[in-house]
């Protein structure tokens, strides 16, 4: 532990103004809120009211209905964290995956299938849930592996393949598996549209009574830690990061050192798919209890934003996942201020924009830091 802090701080201290790097994301969030506020003001609505409503209902700030909104916050955060990590794993390895959306779908539908179908549905939760999660990760991982295989063996750009696979997943699920008459559709006589409801043994255990909050957030804490461990404490992560850093050079440095990059690319994409699919399973096992006929997605694409705000680091993604989860949880309440509930997405996008502008943010902060310093020294001279 001592060593850990030594590394974290002693190391950074070598660089002058190292703390600015930590400040950049925070300042970006702050600036995004300001710009968002100005935008609301300019459309003739009250930004202060909007933010008060937003944050009161977000689950971040204790208040009257805090318990339930806090639960909802963590519920949605766990899905954002999953898709965010999925993007980041690939990005660390030098791969640009837009595939979390499709993998999320795959995860959701696989979770529904193993949640309701027979031999499994009778098992006790303690066996049933792990089986579901393993199957979800296998299928999601496979979905990611397709892009990884084509990249590694055929040199085909992963961006195209992941985009195409998103649509293929979407159409196969919503145009074949789930609609009435499809292999996974509930029997007409049950009156249920979409897949049948999952067995109670498949539902993720609730950890906060009278809310929907379940163990998914714990799962994501563990997964975030495991991914951090994998990336920074293992030879696999070491190789993956080396590949990511040298992607513009065709990963030549790790290659000449004997790293089997094509095997790693496939493993990375598998892992990336598996984690995104895990997020998809949460929506079925913890919220919807089935795969509905109309499935509202978007978690996969938001995952990219989550990962970028979290600087592709597991801890950062965990925090930014909580932030985005909070914005989404509070979203519906802003309608009281006559603001559409998609407003938080503007904030989210603006945060990402300021992250992209980190050079500018850094520049401003540095100027601020230097100005302050010089005024302090001047003061002491007097």
Partner 1 sequence: MEALGVRNIVKQFPNVLANDKVTLSIEKGEIFALVGENGAGKSTLMKIVYGLYTPNSGEIYVFGKKEDIKTPQDSIKLKIGMVHQEFMLIPRFTVTQNIVLGDEPHKGFVFDYLRAISEVREISDKFGLKIDPTEKVENLPVGIQQRVEILKILRRGAEILIFDEPTAVLTPEETSELFKTLNALKQDGKTIIFISHKLNEVMEIADRIGVMRRGELQGIVNKSETNERELARMMVGRDVVLELPKANVKAGDEVFSVSNLNVKNTKGILGLKGVSFSVHAREIVGIAGVEGNGQAELVNAILGFLKPTSGKISINGKEIKLITPYNMRTRGMSYIPEDRKRRGLVLPFRARENIIMGQHTLYPFSNRGILNDKEIDAFATKKLQEFDVRPPDIYSKAESFSGGNQQKIILAKEMSLKHNFLLASQPTRGLDIGATEFVYKMLVEEKKKGIGILLISLELSEIMGLSDRILVLYNGEIVGEVTPEETTEEELGLMMLGLKRKERVQ
Partner 2 sequence: MQLLNLAIAMMLDFAAPILLASLGGVISESSGVVNIALEGIMRFSAFFGVWGSAVAKNQWVGLLWGIGIGIVVGAFHAYITVKWAGDQIVSGVAINVVSLGIITYFLELIFKTTGYSPSVPYFGSAANRISLTFLSKIPVLGAFSRLTIFVWLSLLLTGGLHFLLYHTVLGLRIRSVGENPTAAETLGVNVFKIKWFAVIMGSVFAAIGGAALSLGTMASFNNTGVAGGKGFIALAAMIFGKWTPFGAMLAAFLFASAQVLQFILQATARGIASQIPSGFYSALPYFLTIGALVGVVGKAVGPAADGIPYKKES
Residue numbers of the site for partner 1 (CB under 8 A)? 3, 11, 14, 233-236, 238-239, 241-242, 245-246, 249, 252-260
**Dihedral pair phi/psi, residue 206, rounded to 5°:** -75, 140
Cβ–Cβ < 8 Å for 195, 56 = no
With binding defined as CB under 8 A, does residue 377 bind partner 2?
A: no
Q: Cβ of residue 377: shortest distance to partner 1, in angstroms?
A: 22
- By a kind-dependent CB cut-off of 5 to 8 A, residue 172 interacts, out of partner 2, partner 1, none, with partner 2
Partner from partner 1, partner 2, none binding residue 41, C-beta < 5-8 Å depending on class: none
Q: Give CA separation, 334 vs 52, 145, 322, 327, in Å.
A: 9, 40, 19, 10
Q: Which stretch binds partner 2 (CB under 8 A): 128-136, 206-214, 215-223, 354-362?
A: 354-362
Which CB, 152 or 242, lies closer to partner 1? 242
* Contacting residue, 175, 234, 367, 372, with partner 2 by CB under 8 A: 175
367 touches partner 2 (CB under 8 A): no
Residue 206 bridge partners (DSSP): 214
CB 326 within 8 A of CB 60: yes
Angle at 359 between CA 358 and CA 365, to 5 degrees: 85
Instruction: Work out the number of other CB atoms within 10 angstroms of the CB of residue 264.
Output: 22
Q: What secondary structure letter does DSSP report for 177?
A: I
Judge contact between 323 and 309, C-beta under 8 A.
yes
Q: By rule CB under 8 A, what string of x and - marks binding of each residue 80-109 to partner 2?
A: ----------------x-x-----------
Q: Is 49 in the site for partner 2 (CB under 8 A)?
A: no
At its nearest, how many Å lie between partner 1 and the CB of residue 252? 5
Say how far apart CA 81 and CA 37 lie, in whole Å.
26
Q: State which residue, 6 or 65, has the beta carbon closest to partner 1.
A: 6
The residue among 355, 280, 346 whose CA lies nearest residue 317 is 355
Binding partner of 357, given partner 2, partner 1, none, CB within 5-8 angstroms per partner class: partner 2
* Interhelix angle 19-42/358-381, nearest 10 degrees: 110
Query: Applying CB under 8 A, does 356 fall inside the site for partner 2?
Result: yes
Residue numbers at the binding site for partner 2 (CB under 8 A): 39, 43, 96, 98, 150, 154-157, 159-161, 163-168, 171-177, 179, 181-182, 248, 301-302, 304-305, 308, 339-340, 342-350, 352-353, 355-360
């Amino acid at each position: 532990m001592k060593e850990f802090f030594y590394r974290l701080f002693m190391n950074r201290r070598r660089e002058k103004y190292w703390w600015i790097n930590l400040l950049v994301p925070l300042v970006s969030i702050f600036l995004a809120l300001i710009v968002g506020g100005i935008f609301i003001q300019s459309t003739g609505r009250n930004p202060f009211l909007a933010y008060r409503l937003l944050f009161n209902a977000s689950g971040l700030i204790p208040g009257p209905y805090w318990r339930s909104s806090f639960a909802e916050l963590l519920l949605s955060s766990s899905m954002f964290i999953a898709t965010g990590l999925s993007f980041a794993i690939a990005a660390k390895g030098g791969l640009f995956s837009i595939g979390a959306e499709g993998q999320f779908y795959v995860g959701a539908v696989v979770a529904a299938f193993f949640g309701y179908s027979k031999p499994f549905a009778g098992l006790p939760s303690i066996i049933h849930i792990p089986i579901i999660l393993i199957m979800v990760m296998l299928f999601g991982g496979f979905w990611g592996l397709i892009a990884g295989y084509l990249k590694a063996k055929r040199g085909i750009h992963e961006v195209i393949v992941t985009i195409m696979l998103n649509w293929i997943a979407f159409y196969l699920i919503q145009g074949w598996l789930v609609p009435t008459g499809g292999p996974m559709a509930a029997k007409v006589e049950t009156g249920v549209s979409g897949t049948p409801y999952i067995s109670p043994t498949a539902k993720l255990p609730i950890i906060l009574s009278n809310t929907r909050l379940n163990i998914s957030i714990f799962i994501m804490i563990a997964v975030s830690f495991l991914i951090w461990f994998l990336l920074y404490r293992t030879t696999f992560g070491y190789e993956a990061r080396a590949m990511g850093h040298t992607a513009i050079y065709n990963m030549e440095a790790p290659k000449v050192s004997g790293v089997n990059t094509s095997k790693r690319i496939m493993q990375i994409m598998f892992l990336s798919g598996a984690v995104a699919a895990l997020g998809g399973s949460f929506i079925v096992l913890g919220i919807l209890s089935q795969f509905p006929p109309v499935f509202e997605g978007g978690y996969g694409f938001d995952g990219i934003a989550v990962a970028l705000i979290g600087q592709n680091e597991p801890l950062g993604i965990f925090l930014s996942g909580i932030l985005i989860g909070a914005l989404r949880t509070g979203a519906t309440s802003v309608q009281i201020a006559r603001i559409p509930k998609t407003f938080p997405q503007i904030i989210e996008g603006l945060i990402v924009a300021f992250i992209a502008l980190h050079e500018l943010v850094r520049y401003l902060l540095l100027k601020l830091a230097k100005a302050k310093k010089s005024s302090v020294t001047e003061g002491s001279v007097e």
